[in-house]
Structure formats: C-alpha cells, structure tokens
Structure 1
Amino acid sequence: MGAKLLISTIGILLLVSGGSYAARILAIVPTVSRSHHIWNSALTVALARRGHQITAISPDPPMENNPNLKHIIIEGAYERVQEVFDLEGLVDESDIDALKVFWKWGLETCKQEIQTKGAKELLRMPPDSFDLIITEVLVNECFYLYLDHFGGGTRIPVVGISAFGIAPWTDLATGARTMPSVFAFPTLPYLSKMNFWERMKNTFITGLEWIGMMYYYLPQQQKIAEEAYGKPLPPLQEFASNISLLLMNNHFALNGPQQQLPGIVEVGAMQCSPPKPLPKDIQSFLDGAEQGAIFFSLGSNLRSENLPKEKLQIILDTFAALGPKVRVVWKFDPKVPIKGLPSNVLLKKWLPQEDILGHPKILAFVSHSGLLSTLESIYHGKPVVSIPFFVDQLTNMRRMVEMKVAEYVNFVTITKESFTAKVLKVINDPSYRRNMQTLSNMLRDQPETPLDRAVFWVEFTLRHGKGGRVEALRYAGLDLAWYQYFSLDVLAVFAGVIMFAVLVVVFVIRALCRCFVKPSHGKDSSKKRQ
C-alpha cells in the first residue's frame, strides 16, 4: 500500500512539473453501442500507447491488443438490448415516447450491466487502484457508484466523455444550461434557429426531460446503483457535478456555434483517421465499380436483417434499378440467403466503415445518420442519403439537408420510386459532393487532431486535478439551483419591490383623494330635503 502511494505521488509530481507519467486510469464506458465503443477506444488506445495503464470496463472487446490496456467485459449487454427493444420499430415513435424509450434504455441496460461478473470484478478492486477516472456521461448513471468506490471527484479527478455530443443531461456535469431557445433537444429535428412553434415544442420537451430526469429517471438509477453497491450513495447528480472536464463529440461544422465553458472540450470526430487498406474482396469489388459505388449501413445497433420484409424488398429493388455500373456495399447479415440478390450488391456482416468511406469510388453514404456516422461522412467528404430512425438521427439529418449535403428518405413512407430518386439525385448532382468537401475541409482544419487534443486534456486533468477536481475549470453555476441560475429569486424580489411601490403609490393617491375631494352626495341630499 505504501509503495503504491509513493509511486502515485511521484507520478503526480512529475505531471505537475511537466514530465511524463504512466498513470493508472479507469475508463468506464458501458454504453451498449459498438459505434460509441469505437469513439471511446480511440482515446483509451491513444492513452495506452503513451504508456498509461488503462483499465476499461465495456460490453465490447478491445479494439487493439496493447499490454497497457486491460479490458473488463460486461457480458450479455447486447443480447439484453435486442431482447427488450425493437430498435427498427422506433422510427414512428412520438416525441414523448422517444423520450421514454431513452430513459428505458438507460434503466434497462444499467440493471443488466451493473449485476454482471465484470461489474462485480471492478467493484472488488482496492479503492486506491487508480489515479484518474474517465466515465461516459450518457444514460449509464448507475456506474457513478465507481466514482464513490475509487474516490472520483474527491481523491482523484474525473473526466467525462460523450460520443453522443452535448445535450441537456450534460448540464449536470457542467452547471451550464442548454437554452431551449437556441439549443434543439437531440430527439427533435430542429436547428438552432427555430420559429415560435418549434421553440414552444422544444421548450416543452426540454422541460419534460429535466423534470422526468430529476424526479423519475435519476431516482431509479440511484436505486439500481445502491442495490448493486450494497449501501447508500450521495445523489448521483453530485457525482456528475464533481467531473472536472468533459470531452464532447461535437464540432461547429455540423452543429453550428454554441456557447462553451472552458471545461467543455470539443473533440468531434476523434475516432476519424485516413483510410487503411481494405480486405481484398471489398477492395476488388469497389475498384470494379465503373460509375462509382454506394455504401449502405444503419450503424451498429440498427440491423438491416430486422427490417420489415416489404421495406427490404424496396431497398433491394432500388439498388437493382441503379444498374450494374453502380455497385453497393451493404452492412447486412441476412438470416436466410437473399433470393434474387442484385449482382451489383455485396453483403457483409461487418464492414470497416471509415476505410470504405475513404475509398475514392464511394459516391454516397446511405446512412441512419447517427452522430458518429455523420461525422465520418463529413470527414471523408461523402454526401448522404439519410434514413433516420430515432434519438439524434432526425436532428443530424435536418442539419445535413439544410447544408445541402444530404437528402432525406422517410422510412415509414419509403417507396422504390422515392428512394431511387433521392439516391440518383445525390450521386448525380456534383453540388452535394462539393458542399460536403467544404464541410470536410472545415472539420479537418484544426491546429491538432481531436484525438491529440483529448489526450492533452486528460493529462492536463491529471497534472492539475488536486483534491479530485480541477477547481479552475469548475463553473459557479454548479452550485446554484435552477431558479438561482436564471436569477428568478432576484427577479422575484425586484417584482415584489415594484409591486409594493405601486401599491404604496395607489394607497397614497387614494388617501389624498379622500382628503381633498369632497363627496358630491352631501349637496344633493340637502336639495332633496328641501
């Protein structure tokens, strides 16, 4: 124990003095999404390559074998999601139902993951095992119990990460407020500039999310965490407020300018990199596309094989209509062989998305428009045919359509004619590629890569996170109630003073009137008596 403390102390001193230090870092990344895992792994692998000792708990295996990277697997998480959720059926959910599904996702995955062997293995580790914690700040709040166990925010600093980007629930960690007048709720297909009715609906959904989160969702997460921990915990929002720094998958090229605190660092497209060589069969297939190729993927959670048969047939008919000179690479693992599969279509259970998007023959990306896929399409300069289903996908689609780099296809009303027309419009109109290339140039034009920036700020937090927090980055808004943050208490006092002053003036005027204005009924009554 003494040796560990000595080594840790020497390491911190080296960091403060600007030297390098192999820190012991815990990465809590339990989100059930392979795409999120790719984004998170970009950071953990980079830190491991720099010599830090990383312990990551995740439902996914490591992206790279590295002696500095230990993975604790959360087993059964993907099976639980497939069992509970019909993800492909969420495309026609109402806005309120979509919010309920988001909460249900967080609660159901937390219930399952926190009771797994991997989660219990981590809980058995000594409290002084780590020098810093990296934790996701998205729908897995029950995992904040590990912040209590390892002293995150009190003994060692905590860095929050979110592949989802900025959202109202990140306010818990920043103390800022995502204003509904200019910040569209992630499940709504709105932009920053909203009309009156959009602002009204956005304010309602944002307020509903806050009320539901504070009085329903977080108390449920608290219960799950305490049952797994075996003892009471401070409120989970207190753990969130002790996070020193947030690394967010966000960039103004897609989301526009947003007010940011110094403790919110944008590392959008952190997972993106130049394309690597493709497997020979995929390389040969794409190289042979005479008029170019299309890449079709619905991401890591949505699965083409689970789509309704009539929708699959529409998609197959559309790709066949493109002709043999336009080829299609489709992330698709059919349960039974596809009868009549067009000769221009290649199906694969798994595909290296970035490497395919980087191939020069790719003309367009038919995508569900999740944030990670959207940023990868921008990074590689490929226009999009967007088929959004749920959560932020509608918002990302709307932004890309507004910037004229994408076309929208409604999956509920999709037909062969409408889908074919949108695909042909995107691949035949060069303006989509030009506009996307402009966005790509903006995204790439940075003084350092987003990954290098993320690594720097993690090590910055290690160097300066004395007492468990980087106090210089802590926003005063974290210590204010919502009514104090918006100065409603001050406005209430002002309103009270003004109302009191008005009442005093009215009282004085009425008193003066009674003193100096004689009642007229006295003279009239004397006349009547005469």
Structure 2
Amino acid sequence: MNLRIFIIPLLTSVVATSCNGFRILAIFPFTAKSHFVMFEELSKSLARAGHRVDVVSLFPLKENFPNYTDIVKLKWDFPTLVNNISIDFVEKEFRGNIISFIATVTGNQICKNLDHPDILKIVQNPPNDPPYDAFITEIFGAHCYMIIGHQLKIPIIGVSSSELYPWGHEMIANPRNLAFVPFELLPMTPPLSYWERMKNFLLYWWSYHEFNYYTRVQDDMIRKNFGEDAPGVRELERSVSMILANSHSSVNGAKPVTAGLIEVGGLHVRDDGPELPENLQKWLDESAHGFIYFTFGSMVRIETLPKETLAILYRSFGKIAPVRVLMKIAKPQELPDGLPGNVITQAWIQQLKVLKHKNIRAFITHGGLMGTQEAIHCGVPMIGVPLFADQFVNIHNYVEKKIALFLDYKAITEEKLDAAIDAILNDPVYLKSVRAISEKFRDRPLTPAETAVYWVEYIIKHGSQALRSPALDLTWWQEALLDVYVALVLALLVTVYAIIMIVGALVRLIFGKKRGSKRASRSKKNK
C-alpha cells in the first residue's frame, strides 16, 4: 500500500512530462567539436526535461540518449576540427582577420551545404506527429540556416558558444554602451580611457558592418533553395526570438542586457561522463604533491609546437618534480624523446574529472572559453598560452582578475615558464581569487542548463515575440535618440538666437531713447 503511494505520483509525473513535452529541431552545422560540446549538453538538457529533440550535426552521439535523435549526420568537405590542427595551421589560417574568417569559412562556406537533401526534406516534408515547436541553431557565421525555422513557422532560438559578437547583439537589439563595455575581441578592461573608447567604438561598428558585408552572399544561397520570395539573412537574424549565450556576469562583467539575451555560461559543465581510466585515476590519486594539467583543447595539438619550445617544456616540467604534469597529446609518437619522469600523456581526457580532482594545482591552457569555464567552475588557477581568436581576450580578462598568468607561446623561454609555474603553484593570490570567482560563477538560482530549458519552454509557450525588444522597430538614429538631440539643439539655438535678438532690440530701444533725449536737450540749449 505504501509503495503504491510513491509509485502512482511518480508514474503520473512521468506521463505528464511525456504528454506535455515539446518537439524541437536543432541544426548545428559548424565543424568544431569545441562549439558542439555546449550544443550537445543543451540538447540533452531539453531531452532530460521530457522534450523530443531532433538534432542535425557533424557529431552524432556514440550512445543512444532518451528523447535525443540524430536525424541527419552531416559531413562537409571542410574537415571537422578535432585533434587535427597544428601550430603552423594556426599561424597561417587563424592569425589573420578573424571577422573575415568567421563570416566566410565558418559562415558562407558552410551555407553552401544548405541544399543538403536531408535538410531540404525537413522543410518539404516536416513531421506532424507531433510537429516541431521550436528551431535552435548557432549564432556565429552560418545564419542562413535560420530559414529552416522561418519555413516551418516556428520560433527561432539562437545559441552562442561564446559571448555575443556585434552582429549577435544587433539582431536582438541588445544595448551596448561602448563607453564601458569592451568589444568582445578587444583585450580591454573598464574603465576605458578616451582612446580606448574611440578604438572600442570604431572596431565594434567596423566588425559589425564587415561581417554583414561578407555574409550578404548568404541571401543568394537562401533564395536558390527556398525561392525568390524567401527573406534575406539580415531579416532572418532580426526574427530570432532569443539567444542563449555562453557568458556570465561573474566572469564577463556586469553589462546591460535585453530580455532576449539569456546568459547560460557554463552550460556544458556536467560531470556525468565515463570515469577516468583506472591507471590514470591511480596516477592522479598518488600525486601526493599535486599535478598540473596541460592541454590546448580539442583542436590544436601540443606536439606540433617547435622542438625548441617542447624542449623548454621538458626542462621546466622536470624541475618541478615531485609535482606531476598530465599532458593531452593526441599523437604521442610525434613527441621528441626525453619526456621527464614526472610527466605522462593521454590522447583524450575526461577534462572535467581531471579539473575537479583533489590533487590538481594548476591548468595550462590555450584559453578556450569552454575549458577555462570548467577550470573556474572547479576553482583551478591557470597559465594561459593563447593561440587565436577570443583566447587572448579570455586570458587578458583572467589575468586582470588574478586567476591566471599569461605566456606568449612565440616568446616562451625557460625562465618565463619557470617563473609562471612557480607563481601559480606558490603564490596564494591565484588560488584565493579563482575560488572566490568560482563561488560566484556557481551561485545561481537555477543551473545554466535549467535556465536554458526554462527559457526555451517560455518562448514555445508564450510565442516568438515574448522577449522581443521594441528597439528592433526603431531606426539607428531613433534608438540613439539623435532625432531628439537634434531637435533639442535646434530648439536651444533658436532660443539663444531669440534671446540675442530680444536683448539686442532692448539695448537699441534703451540706448536709442537716451540718444534721442540727449539730442533734444542739446537742441533746446542751442535755441
């Protein structure tokens, strides 16, 4: 009888969840696994909440997950960015104009695959058992895929694996006060000087218009597949109902935010993956003096660093024994001989489990947002060796917060590396600072995943316009109140002019009377 009391409400809850669940289509066409980590966790979180999630991506799940279905497994000519980027490739491809790269390589090039037969089939023959309730896609470069949500007549929800760039802010009219909010690709810290504010203003708007200029060709790709009457990419961008962004005020600072921008920084941080290999777990547990974890993320291979740099790493790491070092090395056979005895390598690592290990003392990282957020979540101080894109800004931010040290990988010397390791291991300010920020980063009424699920459900239940900013209906000069300022200045000028004219008239009147009376008195005397 008592058992029945517990089972019946439980079954009722399960049935209610499955009956009330929504059906969501998610398309993530970018080839970087580091981006997809967040999108996968978002999709799984929606699935856990009882929603049916159909995913189109280049990274299908290796194991079945309830309510999560890989309906289309993409494969582009552009290679997937997983453990296959060398330092030379970074220098040639990623150190140039980052806005052009985002717009063309991660945008236009991927939009060429909008004519994928399986993607077109979704629009031509959408399911109705039940139909889709919302469409989710990445806010980065390939915004042409928003046409799918438009054609299905369902809310379009964006998700960004980083802070929003200018084009992301503008599509939802997110207020950006460039007097104190730095452009996301500029390593600046408020308060900004006059010249910093000037640079911030110019580069923000230059980047916005540069991105729009390069991606205007996506209009042709959309209309080629969906007809001449289909909306262009700029119109589609402004139809986005909401954006989930991988940011949080504890790390990225307090900024003005519109209702349509939901901060879910750290959404991907979930420790439910497989356990560490037994031999690695034993090695970490036995690291009585602690260990340092070193990785360049899921794309760039440490073993492709110049041999001179690797030799410096070997010598510096050897000096800190008995402190140990764990390195993520995809192809250990490419490492030169002479690896110190206190260092081991692994081809792939369950990073979060390593970062939360009780014996970890520091994290050497390229500064990728996903990995550094995990380190902040776990309270681990960092040494940042940024390579490209937002990594420089991330590390600059962490250095300012005293949770990291910066090293230029092209100018690393043994002395600089020794000094950085010594400081991060022995100066308590870094550990104290990162633990304080970690506490703020984790102190939220809902987890990032719960927050994301709540707002996706909110948009579906209350409509695509529920969080829409009225600023989207204004011209740029109306939003900036330029017409009001011009009217006020004109009114002021007219008022000043009128006052001058009145004063002038009074002066002439007064002094004119005096002159007249003087003339009259003179004429009387002459008579």
TM-score range for the pair, normalised by the shorter chain length: 0.7 to 0.9
Contact 1:142 1:222 in 2 (8 A): yes
- Match among 280, 284, 294 for residue 286 of structure 1: 284
1:84 and 1:479 mapped to 2: Cα distance? 46
Contact 1:267 1:451 in 2 (8 A): yes
Change (3 A) 1:496 1:256: same
* Runs of 5+ unmatched residues, structure 1: 1-16, 519-530
Change (3 A) 1:230 1:356: farther
Quote the residue 2:32 is aligned against: 33
Change (3 A) 1:409 1:22: same
Report the Cα offset of residue 120 of structure 1: 4.4
Quote the residue 1:105 is aligned against: 105
Contact 1:113 1:119 in 2 (8 A): no
Quote the residue 2:482 is aligned against: 488
Comparing 61-70 and 373-382, the one that deviates more: 61-70
Q: What per-residue deviation string (whole Å, max 9, x for no partner) do you get for residues 419-452 of structure 1?
A: 2221221012232112211111111222221111
Residue 474 (str. 1) matches residue 468 (str. 2): yes
Change (3 A) 1:353 1:229: farther
Counting only pairs closer than 5 Å after superposition, residues 4-403 of structure 1 correspond to structure 2 as 21-62=20-61, 64-71=63-70, 72-76=72-76, 79=79, 88-89=90-91, 93=95, 97-116=97-116, 119-126=119-126, 129-151=131-153, 156-214=154-212, 216-229=213-226, 231-274=228-271, 277-334=275-332, 336-403=334-401
Change (3 A) 1:428 1:169: same
Comparing 41-50 and 333-342, the one that deviates more: 333-342
2:93 and 2:235 mapped to 1: Cα distance? 35
2:79 aligned counterpart, secondary structure:
helix
1:57 and 1:19 mapped to 2: Cα distance? 22
Contact 2:294 2:325 in 1 (8 A): no
1:403 and 1:380 mapped to 2: Cα distance? 16
Q: What per-residue deviation string (whole Å, max 9, x for no partner) do you get for residues 238-261 of structure 1?
A: 222222222221111111111122
2:279 aligned counterpart, secondary structure:
helix
1:439 and 1:103 mapped to 2: Cα distance? 33
1:91 and 1:136 mapped to 2: Cα distance? 22
2:471 and 2:58 mapped to 1: Cα distance? 34
Paired letter, 2:267? M
Q: What per-residue deviation string (whole Å, max 9, x for no partner) do you get for residues 242-281 of structure 1?
A: 2222222111111111112233222111121347631112
Q: What per-residue deviation string (whole Å, max 9, x for no partner) do you get for residues 453-507 of structure 1?
A: 2112111222212xxx143x22111111211100112222223333445555667
Paired letter, 2:352? E
- Match among 459, 462, 465 for residue 461 of structure 1: 459
Query: Which structure's CA Rg is the greater one?
Result: 2
1:149 and 1:512 mapped to 2: Cα distance? 71
Change (3 A) 1:415 1:230: farther
Report the Cα offset of residue 406 of structure 1: 0.7
Contact 2:382 2:404 in 1 (8 A): yes
Report the Cα offset of residue 22 of structure 1: 2.4
1:18 and 1:38 mapped to 2: Cα distance? 26
Report the Cα offset of residue 286 of structure 1: 1.5
1:460 aligned counterpart, secondary structure:
helix
Q: What per-residue deviation string (whole Å, max 9, x for no partner) do you get for residues 176-195 of structure 1?
A: 23222121112111123222
Paired letter, 2:294? F
Q: What per-residue deviation string (whole Å, max 9, x for no partner) do you get for residues 143-188 of structure 1?
A: 112122212xxxx223221121233222233212322212111211
Report the Cα offset of residue 397 of structure 1: 1.0
Contact 2:108 2:142 in 1 (8 A): no
Comparing 124-133 and 351-360, the one that deviates more: 124-133
1:169 aligned counterpart, secondary structure:
helix
Q: What per-residue deviation string (whole Å, max 9, x for no partner) do you get for residues 388-412 of structure 1?
A: 1222212211221111111111122
1:489 and 1:85 mapped to 2: Cα distance? 51
Contact 1:45 1:64 in 2 (8 A): no
* Runs of 5+ unmatched residues, structure 2: 1-15, 514-527
Q: What per-residue deviation string (whole Å, max 9, x for no partner) do you get for residues 21-43 of structure 1?
A: 12210112223321221111111
Contact 1:275 1:354 in 2 (8 A): no
Q: What per-residue deviation string (whole Å, max 9, x for no partner) do you get for residues 197-220 of structure 1?
A: 222211111010122233x03312
Contact 1:98 1:187 in 2 (8 A): no
Contact 1:77 1:109 in 2 (8 A): no
Paired letter, 1:257? A
Paired letter, 2:151? H
2:450 and 2:160 mapped to 1: Cα distance? 17
User: How well do the aligned residues superpose, as a CA RMSD in angstroms?
Assistant: 3.1
Quote the residue 2:492 is aligned against: 498
Quote the residue 2:518 is aligned against: none
Change (3 A) 1:334 1:118: farther
1:463 aligned counterpart, secondary structure:
helix
Structure with larger RCO (C-alpha < 8 A, sep 6+): 1
Contact 1:80 1:112 in 2 (8 A): no
1:87 and 1:502 mapped to 2: Cα distance? 64
1:332 and 1:322 mapped to 2: Cα distance? 24
Quote the residue 1:4 is aligned against: none
Paired letter, 1:74? L
Comparing 102-111 and 371-380, the one that deviates more: 102-111
Report the Cα offset of residue 376 of structure 1: 0.6
Contact 2:25 2:134 in 1 (8 A): yes
Report the Cα offset of residue 130 of structure 1: 1.1
1:335 and 1:483 mapped to 2: Cα distance? 60
Paired letter, 2:250? A
Change (3 A) 1:223 1:416: farther
Please report the TM-score for the alignment, with normalisation by the length of structure 1: 0.84
2:25 and 2:348 mapped to 1: Cα distance? 29
Report the Cα offset of residue 369 of structure 1: 1.4
1:379 and 1:84 mapped to 2: Cα distance? 29
Change (3 A) 1:318 1:241: same
Counting only pairs closer than 5 Å after superposition, residues 411-430 of structure 1 correspond to structure 2 as 411-430=409-428
Contact 1:330 1:345 in 2 (8 A): no
Contact 1:296 1:331 in 2 (8 A): no
2:353 aligned counterpart, secondary structure:
helix
Contact 2:186 2:200 in 1 (8 A): yes
Q: What per-residue deviation string (whole Å, max 9, x for no partner) do you get for residues 316-341 of structure 1?
A: 33323333542323244346353222
Report the Cα offset of residue 86 of structure 1: 6.1
